[in-house]
Structure 1
Amino acid sequence: MRIAYVSYEHPLGITGGGIGTYLGQIASLMAALGHDVEVFTGHPNLSGSIPYQGYLVHQVQVLNVKEFREKVVDVFATRHATNTFDIIESGEYGADAYHVKKRFRNIPLTVKLHTPSFLVSRLNGYPDVFQKAVFLLKCLRRGIVQKPYWVYDKKADIEYELFQLADSLSSPSNSLKKIVGKEWGRERDIEVVPLPFEPTPAFLRMPSVKKPQGKTVICFVGKLEVRKGVLSLMKAIPEVVKQSKNVVFRFIGEPLPSPQKGQNMQEYISSELAGFTDSLQ
C-alpha cells in the first residue's frame, strides 16, 4: 500500500512534540511491514526529499503550520502524479492535510486524533476574570459587538472541518474519543488504536539514572504543562509523602508556562512544594 503521512511535525522536520514522535514511530513500523511510505513534513530551514529508516521524507520549508498546510499541497501533488497514493493520514491538530484533502477528495483520508486545539485551550486554562473584563471593556469602548474569543465555535475551526472530511477516524484512547465525539460528533466512527512505541538501540543504550537507595521513585516524563496533569500530581505529592517518607517524585520534561505569571512549571512546582524538596527531583 502507498501511504502518505502529512504532518507538520516529524523527527526530521519540526520536532519537540508527541505528534512528531508518533510520526517517526508509525512511518518506520509501516515501512518495515512492507508498505511504501512517504512523509510530508515542515522544516524551518530545509526543503527537499531524503530517505530515512526505510521511507522517504519530503521537507517543506515553512515558518508555521498555516504556511505548511498550504505549501505542502504542491509537493504532495508532484509525488502523487509520479506514483499515486492509496491513503493519506493526518492528525487533527493543525489540520495539516486540510488543503491536500480538499484538492484530492478521491484519496481516502484517515485522521488520527492527538489533542485538538479547543481541548488544549480548555485543559491549559481559560482566560481569568481580569482578561475577560479587559476584552469586554475594549468592545464597549469601540462600540462593537464581538463574540468572546474564549467561546469555542466549531464551525470556525479548520480542525473540525478536517475531522468531518475524514473517511476514517482513530483515537489513542477511549477518553479522547468520548471528548471529541461529544464536541464534534461521529463518536461511533472513531476507532481506538493505541500509540505504538518501539525503542531504538540508541534509546536502550542510554545510561540509567541512579536510583536513591531505599527509595521508591515515581517518574513523570513529558512536557511540564497543565494539560498533562502535572498540577494534579503536584497536589497529590504532600499526601503521598505523609504516608511514606521513602517516595521520591522525579519530573523529566521541558517546563512550560504555569498558572503563576512569570514562573515556568518547574519553578512553580518548586515554590508550591517548598517544604518537600527532599521528595523532588
Structure 2
Amino acid sequence: MHIVLVCREYVGSARGGGIGSYMQEIARAYIAKGHRVTVVTASDNTKKQSETLTSDGIKIISLSGGDFLVPSVEGNSRVRKLRCLYRFHSYRRKLKRVIGSISDTDIVEVADFGAEGLYLQNLNVPVVVRLHTPQSLSIRSHGLVKPEWWQIYRTITLRAERDIFAAARYMTGCSQAILRWVSAHFDISGAKTAVINNPVSVSRINVTDKGSDGHKVIFYAGTISDTKGVGDLVDACVMLRDKGFDIRLRLAGKGGSFQTMLQKRVMDNGWSWIEFLGKLSREDVFSNYCSADVCCFPSWWENMPMVVLESMALGAVVVSTDAGGTGEIITDGFDGYLCQRRNPMMLSNTLHKALTLSPVGRNELKENAKQTIRDRFSIEKISTEMLEFFHEVIADFKQNHI
C-alpha cells in the first residue's frame, strides 16, 4: 500500500509539533510493515521546494509557496505576514496538484489542522480526514469559534473546515471527545468514521535521566500560552511555594505574546524558580520527562496529547486536565492525575498530591503509566488498527467510486 500523509508541520520544521511527531511515528510503523509512505508538508522557506528520502525510507516532499512566514528563515515583513490571506487558496490548490501527481497512491490522510484538505476530496483516491483539533473549536468555551469581523484569516479557515467536513467521506478521530465534538457541530453523517488513538513510540530515543538538583521539579512541554494552561500552572506553583514547597518550574516550548507577558511577570516578582527553556529537541524533552518529579500539562483542551502519551511511556508522574481526550488516557489516581481545567487551586492541590506520594506509591503509579501505554497506545497496536481502517476505506471507495 502507498500511503500519503499530509500536514503543513513535520518533525524538523520550526513549526513542528505533536501532529508532526504523530506522522513520523506512524509513517515508520507503516514502512516496518512493508508499506510505502510519502509525507507532503510545507517548507519553512516558502521559496524552496525539496524532496528527500530519510534513512527510515520515508519520502518527504516539502512544498514551497506556504501561506505562513517563519521570520527566522525569511525575515520579518508585514506584507509577508499577509500570506495567510493571499496564499490561502493557491497553496491548497498546489497541494492537490502535487498529491494528484504522486504515482501509485492508494490512500491519502490529511490532518484537519490548517484546512489543507479543502481541494482534496475530488482526487481519484480515497482521502481520510484525520481529526486532531480543528480551528473551529473554541479552546476557551468548547463551542464553535465566533471570529470578530476583522479576523479575516480565521473566518476563511473556519469556512474551509466546514466545507471539508461536509464533503468528507472518511474520517478518523484521535479520541472519542473530538469525534463527538465535530459530530455535534457539523453534519458528518455521510462519512465513515472511526476512533483510532494516537500511538507512542519512544524506543528509538536514547534518553538520559539528568537527575534533579535537589529541588522538586515540575516540567511542562508545549506552546507557552494561556489556553495551554501555563498561567494556571504558574499560579498553582505560587500557591505551593506559599505553603513551603521548594518548587522549580521548567517550561519548554515556543512562545509568543503570552510568554513575553509571563516573563515580565516573572522578572517583576523576582521568581528565579521559573525557567524558560525554549524549544528543545525531542531527546532533551524526554530527558526532562524522566528527571522531573512531576510533568504537568494543564491545557484547557486537548484531543490526544502526545506530551501526555510520551511522558507516561517514559514512566513520568503526570498531572493533566480532564478537558477533551486526556481523560481517555489517564485513569485518575491509577496511572496519573486529572483535575478540572482553568482551576489553579484544584491544580495546586493535585500537584501537592503527586509531589507527596510515598516512594512505593510513586513507583506503582509510574509502572501503571508505562503499562497503560504498552497496552492501549503502542505503535504496533495503533498502526494495525489504522491499516485495517485504510483497507476498509479503499474497498469502500472502489465499490462506490464512479
- Classify the TM-score, shorter chain: 0.7 to 0.9
Q: How does 1:116-135 map to 2 (within 5 A)?
A: 116-119=134-137, 122=140
- 1:160 equivalent in structure 2: 162
- Measured on the aligned residues, the alpha-carbon RMSD in Å equals 3.5
Q: How many Å apart are 1:268 and its aligned residue?
A: 4.8
Partners of 1:228 and 1:72 in 2: how far apart?
30
Which residues of structure 1 form unaligned runs of 5+?
124-131, 136-146
Matched, 1:91 2:87: no
1:242 Cα shift?
A: 3.5
- Which 5+ residue runs of structure 2 have no aligned equivalent? 69-87, 142-146, 276-402
Secondary structure of the structure 2 residue equivalent to 1:245: coil
Question: In the alignment, residue 213 of structure 2 is paired with which amino acid?
Answer: P
2-structure distance, mates of 1:47, 1:75:
12
* Maintained 8 Å contact 1:42/1:60: yes
1:108 partner amino acid: P
Q: What amino acid is aligned across from residue 183 of structure 2 in structure 1?
A: G
Question: What percent identity do the matched residue pairs reach?
Answer: 23
**How many Å separate the matches in 1 of 2:121 and 2:136?**
22
Cα distance in structure 2, aligned partners of 1:244 and 1:195: 39
The answer for the alignment partner of 1:5 in structure 2 is 5
Tell me the alpha carbon deviations over residues 193-238 of structure 1, each in whole angstroms, 9 at most, x when there is no partner.
332232364x425x5444121x332211111012212122222222
The answer on 1:64 being equivalent to 2:67 is yes
The Cα shift of 1:63 comes to 3.1
Q: How does 1:4-23 map to 2 (within 5 A)?
A: 4-11=4-11, 15-23=15-23
Deviations 1:13-61 (A, max 9, x none): 6633322222222222222222221111111243242212222112221
SS in 2 for 1:119: coil
1:185–1:236 distance in 2 versus 1, CA, 3 Å: farther
Which deviates the most, 161-170 or 180-189?
180-189
TM-score (norm: length of structure 2): 0.53
- Kindly report which structure 2 residues correspond to 1:16-95, keeping only aligned pairs within 5 A, or say none: 16-43=16-43, 44=45, 45-52=47-54, 53-64=56-67, 66=88, 67-79=90-102, 82-83=103-104, 85-95=105-115
2:227 is the alignment partner of 1:264: no
Q: Residue 233 of structure 1: SS of its match in structure 2?
A: helix
Is 2:114–2:157's contact at 8 Å kept on the other side of the alignment?
no
Q: Distance in 2 between matches of 1:157 and 1:279?
A: 44
Secondary structure of the residue that 1:101 maps to in structure 2?
coil
Question: Over residues 244-281 of structure 1, what are the superposed CA-to-partner deviations in whole Å (9 max), with x where a residue is unaligned?
Answer: 513332211122222xxxx6254155258x26x25433
Determine if contact 1:9/1:41 at 8 Å carries over to the other structure.
yes
Task: Give the match for residue 241 of structure 2.
Answer: 241
Tell me the amino acid that sits aligned with residue 73 of structure 1: K
SS at match of 1:59: strand
Task: State which drifts further: 230-239 or 87-96.
Answer: 230-239
Which secondary structure does the structure 2 equivalent of 1:180 belong to?
Answer: helix
Report the Cα distance in structure 1 between the residues aligned to 2:7 and 2:170, rounded to whole angstroms: 17
Q: Distance in 2 between matches of 1:193 and 1:268?
A: 41
Aligned mates of 2:232, 2:176 — CA distance in 1: 20
Query: Within 2, Cα distance between the matches of 1:265 and 1:114?
Result: 28
TM-score scaled to structure 1, two decimals?
0.73
- Shift of the 244–192 alpha-carbon distance from structure 1 to 2, 3 Å rule, reads farther
Deviation sequence 1:160-207 (CA, Å, 0-9, x none): 221232223223334333333332244996533332232364x425x5
CA distance in 2, matches of 1:12, 1:96: 20
1:92–1:163 Cα contact (<8 Å) kept = no
Query: How far apart are the structure 2 equivalents of 1:117 and 1:26?
Result: 23
Asked whether 1:101 is paired with 2:121, we answer: yes
Match of 1:140 in 2: none
In the alignment, the residues of structure 1 paired with residue 209 and residue 262 of structure 2 have an alpha-carbon distance, to the nearest angstrom, of: 22
Tell whether the 8 Å contact from 1:216 to 1:248 is kept in structure 2 after alignment: yes
Q: For 2:194, give the aligned amino acid.
A: E
In 2, the alpha carbon distance for the partners of 1:60 and 1:15 equals 14
Give the 5 Å matches for 1:220-231.
Answer: 220-231=220-231
Q: Distance in 2 between matches of 1:185 and 1:216?
A: 48
1:120–1:227 contact (8 Å) kept in structure 2: no
- Counterparts of 1:188-207 in structure 2, within 5 Å, are 191-199=194-202, 201=204, 203-205=205-207, 207=208
Alignment partners' CA distance in 1, 2:157 and 2:221: 35
